[in-house]
Amino acid sequence: MCTYFNTMDSPIGCLTLYATDHALTAILYQDQTPQPETATYMPQHPLLVECEQQLQQYFTGTRQQFDLPLAPKGTDFQQRVWQSLCTIPYGVCWSYQQLAISIGNIKACQAVGMANSKNPLSIVIPCHRVIGKNGTLTGYAGGLDKKQTLLALEQEHA
């Protein structure tokens, strides 16, 4: 299966988008580990073009939900956590405990946090909406400044 990529500038820095012929597989920040070296640069790939358009709409506040085929790679547990992340409404924050409860295991807060940190589809699978139980911002693959920017953007347009 071929993997394609393109980059885009955004208000939170350069993003690299990855897709196969059938689904988006990753959105990575500039300092994150890239996808396989076998990925082919293809800026006109239809899924990459659509992803960039939807992200631009998100950043301007005109899109609150993404409509893209997704295929993140992860364990069954990670997949469950990522699916649950997609149910967090735009402009709303959940705690790791709330996320653990949503997958049916209140004791899995730490494991949920680890799965959250492995989310390869930042922004589209909204891991930035998960914060500490006491309301503090906690780790984010792109850095806490980017997490704060995304949360502020959503608050402004919610």
Same-fold call for 4-60 versus 76-157: no
C-alpha 137 chain-centroid distance: 16
Which of the residue ranges 29-38, 55-64, 75-84, 141-150 would you say has the lowest mean pLDDT? 29-38
Q: Sorting pLDDT into bands at 50, 70 and 90, what band is 35?
A: low
SS3 16: strand
pLDDT tens figures, 46-61:
999 999 999 999 999 9
Task: Please report, for the chain, the start and end positions of each structural domain, with discontinuous segments joined by +.
Answer: 4-60, 76-157
118-136 mean pLDDT:
93
Whether the per-residue pLDDT at 4 is higher than 90: the answer is: yes
Q: Give the H or E element holding residue 117.
A: helix 109-117
Active site residue 127: yes
**Catalytic position from the list 2, 51, 93, 127:** 127
CA 117, 32, 62, 145 torsion-angle sign: positive
pTM for the model stands at: 0.93
Q: Note the pLDDT of residue 31.
A: 79
Per-residue model confidence (pLDDT) at position 140:
84
The CATH number corresponding to 4-60 among 3.30.230, 3.30.160, 3.30.450, 3.40.50 equals 3.30.160
CATH code matching the domain that covers 76-157, chosen among 1.20.58.220, 1.20.140.10, 3.40.50.700, 1.10.10.10: 1.10.10.10
Residues 90-125: tens digit of each pLDDT: 999 999 999 999 999 999 999 999 999 999 999 999
Run of H or E including 40: strand 40-41
Residue 139: pLDDT band by 50, 70, 90 thresholds? confident
